[in-house]
């Protein structure tokens, strides 16, 4: 594909509470063995994009560790490959990234030294499977300046997204970010296709004016000057932007149809491999409608839950509707319902941790109960 990829993975979210105290959103564990960024990276690789930049900023240690080897996503190559950019502070530039557009502008040399005619910009905290070739073909067919990937959320709340109004040909008329009174059910999923030279020109125009955001200062500001079209996507897509969406995304993996689409149909989603033994089910253990990570040792009963690597559950313990992250320990005779246990949490014998599906309880990393 004659396009390069940019994955914006530098955001932080107070709405994810303790879960992002020590990790970027793009490094959030998903589906028992993946990280959120695996889906965007795999989509790039599966679409034939051979040159990808990941731009990160907050709490990036966990993410950088995950991306330490590019071979898992087939980016370990001499031509192209995976590039990771963090804020570069110098005598001339003492700023961290001040917005999504600024994060690309501060790495403008990457764009100028590239030869690919198009750029695909996406986020590192979305879970989906997409062929970017189809979007690029649509972009060329419409002779668009910018193509935005959109989704119709007929049955969902769109007030937390960018809402797009389109004409009959799919051209954008209006774009309103997080509106109080949405006039459309069509949202932007935060994926853009644009010519590389045009992106450079726009960034060099807006930066001297103190404008740093892609959506507000490029998409919305130039909506009447540029030909911006929407590419409608009707597949599974989830945005991990708060505790409830993170919880529901993991629960979605327990749905056979969603799991089959994302994990069991080619092209596949890749992740950094961990060499752990298979999960061990001791006498009396049971697992129903759950995902169990490698290296787990189970003695209790797991129902409709997602367990990551090396989780231990004690005898007569019951875990329902919960997410248990790597290395956590659940003692004997415990009850855990509708909870999210971060890494290396210890729950002592006989404890009960019970939340609701609408408001799951969170135990932060390293908590001992």
Query: Residue 135: which CATH number?
Result: 3.90.550.10
CA distance 67 to 6: 15
Q: Are residues 188 and 330 in the same domain?
A: no
CA distance 4 to 52: 6
- Does residue 270 fall inside a structural domain? no
- pLDDT band at residue 1 under the 50/70/90 scheme: confident
3-state SS assignment for residue 117: coil
- Does residue 47 fall inside a structural domain? yes
Q: Are residues 236 and 130 in the same domain?
A: yes
- Mean pLDDT for 41-53 is 96
Domain that holds residue 58: 3-263
DSSP 251: H
pLDDT tens digits, one per residue of 257-314: 999 999 999 999 999 988 899 999 999 999 999 999 999 999 999 999 999 999 999 9
pLDDT tens digits, one per residue of 180-207: 888 889 999 999 999 999 999 999 999 9
pLDDT at 214: 95
Contact at 8 Å (CB) between 294 and 311? no
pLDDT at 90: 55
**Radius of gyration over alpha carbons of the chain, in Å?**
22
Half-sphere exposure of 58 (CA within 13 A, CB side): 18
Residue 168's CB: how many other CB atoms inside 10 A? 5
Query: How much is the pTM?
Result: 0.93
Domain boundary among 263, 296, 316: 263
Say which residue, 328 or 15, is predicted with more confidence.
Answer: 328
pLDDT tens digits, one per residue of 131-161: 999 999 999 999 999 999 999 998 778 888 9
Q: Are residues 350 and 224 in the same domain?
A: no
| The pairing of beta strand 312-313 with beta strand 335-337 | unpaired
Q: Are residues 257 and 303 in the same domain?
A: no
- Does residue 273 fall inside a structural domain? no
Q: Are residues 294 and 172 in the same domain?
A: no
Q: Are residues 27 and 95 in the same domain?
A: yes
Contact at 8 Å (CB) between 172 and 227? no
Q: Are residues 200 and 122 in the same domain?
A: yes
pLDDT tens digits, one per residue of 75-99: 987 778 999 998 866 556 556 788 9
Q: Are residues 190 and 325 in the same domain?
A: no
- Does residue 271 fall inside a structural domain? no
Domain total of the chain: 2
CA diameter of the chain: 68
Which run of H or E residues covers position 259?
helix 256-263
Domain boundary among 199, 230, 263: 263
Q: Are residues 150 and 23 in the same domain?
A: yes
Q: Are residues 11 and 91 in the same domain?
A: yes
Tokens of 252: 């979605």
Is residue 112's pLDDT more than 60? Answer: yes
Tokens of 240: 């991990």
Is residue 210's pLDDT more than 60? Answer: yes
- Does residue 275 fall inside a structural domain? no
Closest to 106 in 3D by CA, of 192, 32, 13, 207: 207
Is residue 43's pLDDT more than 60? Answer: yes
Q: Are residues 207 and 306 in the same domain?
A: no
Query: Residue 293: which CATH number?
Result: 2.160.10.10
CA distance 307 to 299: 13
CA distance 330 to 328: 7
Q: Are residues 136 and 231 in the same domain?
A: yes
- Residue 357's contacts (CB-CB under 8 Å, 6 or more residues apart) are 247, 321, 338
- Mean pLDDT for 104-110 is 94
When the pLDDT of each residue in the chain is averaged and rounded to a whole number, the result is: 93
CA distance 335 to 328: 15
- Does residue 115 fall inside a structural domain? yes
- Does residue 69 fall inside a structural domain? yes
Domain boundary among 263, 290, 307: 263
- Does residue 207 fall inside a structural domain? yes
């Amino acid at each position: 594909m004659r396009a390069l990829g940019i994955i914006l993975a530098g955001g932080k979210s107070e709405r994810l509470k303790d879960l992002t105290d020590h990790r970027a959103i793009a490094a959030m564990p998903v589906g028992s063995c993946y990280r959120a960024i695996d889906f965007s990276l795999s989509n790039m690789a599966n679409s034939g994009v051979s040159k990808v930049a990941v731009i990160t900023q907050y709490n990036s240690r966990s993410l950088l560790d995950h991306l330490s080897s590019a071979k898992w996503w087939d980016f370990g190559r001499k031509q192209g490959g995976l590039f990771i950019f963090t804020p570069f502070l110098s005598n001339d530039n003492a700023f961290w990234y001040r917005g999504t557009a600024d994060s690309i502008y501060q790495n403008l040399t990457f764009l100028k030294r590239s030869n690919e005619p198009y750029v695909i910009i996406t986020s590192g905290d979305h879970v989906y499977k997409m062929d970017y070739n189809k979007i690029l073909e649509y972009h060329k067919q419409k002779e668009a300046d910018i193509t935005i990937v959109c989704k119709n959320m007929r049955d969902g709340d769109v007030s937390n997204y960018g809402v797009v109004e389109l004409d009959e040909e799919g051209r954008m008329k209006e774009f309103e970010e997080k509106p109080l009174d949405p006039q459309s059910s069509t949202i932007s999923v935060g994926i853009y296709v644009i010519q590389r030279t045009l992106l450079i020109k726009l960034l060099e125009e807006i930066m001297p004016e103190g404008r740093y955001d892609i959506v507000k200062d490029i998409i919305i500001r130039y909506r009447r000057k540029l030909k911006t079209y929407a590419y409608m996507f009707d597949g599974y897509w989830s945005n991990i932007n708060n505790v409830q969406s993170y919880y529901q995304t993991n629960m979605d993996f327990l749905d056979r149809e969603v799991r089959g689409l994302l994990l069991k149909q080619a092209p596949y989603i890749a992740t950094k491999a961990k060499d752990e033994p298979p999960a061990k089910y001791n006498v009396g253990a049971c697992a129903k409608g759950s995902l169990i990570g490698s290296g787990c040792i189970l003695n209790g009963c797991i129902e409709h839950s997602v367990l990551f690597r090396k989780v231990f559950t004690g005898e007569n313990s019951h875990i329902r509707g919960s997410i248990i992250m790597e290395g956590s320990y659940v003692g004997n005779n415990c009850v855990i319902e509708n909870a999210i246990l971060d890494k290396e949490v210890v729950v002592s014998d006989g404890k009960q941790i019970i939340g609701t599906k609408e408001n799951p309880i969170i135990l932060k990393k390293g908590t001992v109960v």
